[in-house]
Structure 1
Amino acid sequence: MDAGAEHAMIAVPAGPVTLSDRRTQRSWTVEVAPCLIATYPVTRALYARVTAERPGAAEGGELPVEGVSWWDAVRFCNALSEREGLTPAYLLPADGGGDVERDVSADGYRLPTEAEWEHACRAGTAGPRYGPLDEIAWHRGNSEERIHGVGGKRPNPWGFHDMLGNVWEWCWDVYDPEVYGSYRVLRGGGWFDEHWSCRASVRRRSHPTFRVDDVGFRLARSAGH
């Protein structure tokens, strides 16, 4: 995969998406604005080229980067934006603590919101998945309990690869601040997950400093820039 393809973006059309949470038995509809989302999760090669860091234990440049926290992901977004002469999307606290603010006018890279993520994942489909699971996703039943290179499974109707399976993906959103504080949303399921976790609607949560070998992230940008 050449360097340009690593973070090629697909234009996502505006539209409504209904999110749901099994824990609270709640559902809500969000109107998603047009945006750009990366065809693939961020790879180890791209992450290393931008940060000079190689987190995680798995070796191979075309593997999704893993072992990255939510904080690592937002810092990467800003670093890639600066590298490409774009305005960083995130205002980071100088001391490394506190809250991250998003500059909604910025043209730089950012994490997708979970509504953007699910809208892109579903790609106009209505079921729990955009195709037969083994054809579209690496999961516990077919992954041999290891991570795989991006793009090895069939894409969804809009051209996105690995939206389900392989690695969970950090989203911008706070999961439930009243109950879980600063925990952020993860989406998509991973290579070690059973089939029921690899569905478009499944939400998971974790602390923004959490790092593990089945969690990565995907880039987004706001449209119109």
Structure 2
Amino acid sequence: MDTGTASDMISVPPGRVTLSDRRTQRSWSVEVAPFRLGAVQVTRALHTAVSSGSAATGAADGPPVEGVSWQDAVRFCNALSRRDGFTPAYHVPADGGDAVWDRAADGYRLPTEAEWEHACRAGTTGPRYGPLDAIAWYRGTSDGRIRDVGGKRPNPWGLYDMLGNVWEWCWDLYDAEVYGSYRVLRGGGWFDEQWSCRASVRRRSHPTFRVDDVGFRVARSPGAGPRPA
């Protein structure tokens, strides 16, 4: 894998995805434009390297970073963008208010919930893109601990650990009318039972909370070019 960036960035084709929420029994369809998504979750090594400004040798290997808030993930995306010569995707107010996404920027960002599910499914139609034991670190396979990224079979588009290992932050609000600023989490984690590791499952948390089974992966917008030489 490319140790100089968040990971190999996989080109995700456009498509339509239907999202659903069990609590409200609501479903809605979203058109997804092409974009790029990290083949693996952001690792501890990369997170430390970018945060400290040190070299990123082996940064796409090892376990995913966990215990990071949504706000932490947004700030990391901006820091990685600056390091790699891209325009940061987010304006983060100094007073700690909500970040604003500059959709014209070419920098790293969190995927939207629709992008995440579209990428997770990778053209498949079932609850998972393969047999769970073969594709995911969850309670039945993890031996009660977080695991290195990329150790299970990827989905048909080459994305690893879309289910299991750590939950992943998405950009979207979960349900602003009921939960205010809570943001969406997707994918299930190493301690979850099998029913939480499905493409459609949604979880939520406050953007400032750090939860021990939550990480993220980075995306880049349609038309974003390669990393500058």
Please give the range of the TM-score, normalised by the shorter of the 2 chains: over 0.9
Q: Render the CA deviation track for 1:9-66: whole Å, top value 9, x for unaligned.
A: 000111000000001000000000010000000001100000029xxxxxxx610000
Return the alpha-carbon distance in structure 2 between the equivalents of residues 141 and 14 of structure 1.
Answer: 33
AA of the residue aligned to 1:129: R
**1:145 has 2:144 as partner:** yes
Q: CA deviation at 1:2?
A: 5.2
Tell me the SS of whatever aligns to 2:78.
Answer: helix
Change (3 A) 1:177 1:123: same
Return the alpha-carbon distance in structure 2 between the equivalents of residues 127 and 166 of structure 1.
Answer: 20
**1:84 has 2:97 as partner:** no
8 Å CA contact retained: 2:2, 2:8: no
Report the counterpart of residue 220 of structure 2 in structure 1.
221
Q: Render the CA deviation track for 1:56-103: whole Å, top value 9, x for unaligned.
A: xxxxx61000010000000000000011111000010022x2221000
The two structures have a TM-score, normalised by structure 1, of 0.94
Report the counterpart of residue 44 of structure 2 in structure 1.
44
Q: CA deviation at 1:6?
A: 4.5
Return the alpha-carbon distance in structure 1 between the equivalents of residues 130 and 211 of structure 2.
Answer: 27
**1:27 has 2:27 as partner:** yes
Matches within 5 A, 1:1-225: 3-4=3-4, 6-52=6-52, 62-95=62-95, 97-225=96-224
Q: Render the CA deviation track for 1:111-141: whole Å, top value 9, x for unaligned.
A: 0001000000000000000000000000011
Q: CA deviation at 1:5?
A: 6.7
AA of the residue aligned to 1:43: T
Return the alpha-carbon distance in structure 2 between the equivalents of residues 169 and 18 of structure 1.
Answer: 19
What is the CA RMSD across the aligned residues, in angstroms? 1.4
Return the alpha-carbon distance in structure 1 between the equivalents of residues 6 and 25 of structure 2.
Answer: 37
Count of matched residue pairs: 218
Tell me the SS of whatever aligns to 1:75.
Answer: helix
Tell me the SS of whatever aligns to 2:111.
Answer: coil
Tell me the SS of whatever aligns to 1:79.
Answer: helix
Tell me the SS of whatever aligns to 2:94.
Answer: coil
Structure 2: 5+ residue stretches without partners: 54-60, 225-229
AA of the residue aligned to 1:202: V
Moved over 6 A (4+): none
Report the counterpart of residue 57 of structure 1 in structure 2.
none
Q: CA deviation at 1:210?
A: 1.2
Change (3 A) 1:66 1:121: same
Return the alpha-carbon distance in structure 1 between the equivalents of residues 5 and 122 of structure 2.
Answer: 20
Tell me the SS of whatever aligns to 2:153.
Answer: coil
Return the alpha-carbon distance in structure 2 between the equivalents of residues 205 and 88 of structure 1.
Answer: 25
Return the alpha-carbon distance in structure 2 between the equivalents of residues 189 and 203 of structure 1.
Answer: 9
AA of the residue aligned to 1:51: S
Return the alpha-carbon distance in structure 1 between the equivalents of residues 34 and 65 of structure 2.
Answer: 26
Return the alpha-carbon distance in structure 2 between the equivalents of residues 40 and 195 of structure 1.
Answer: 21
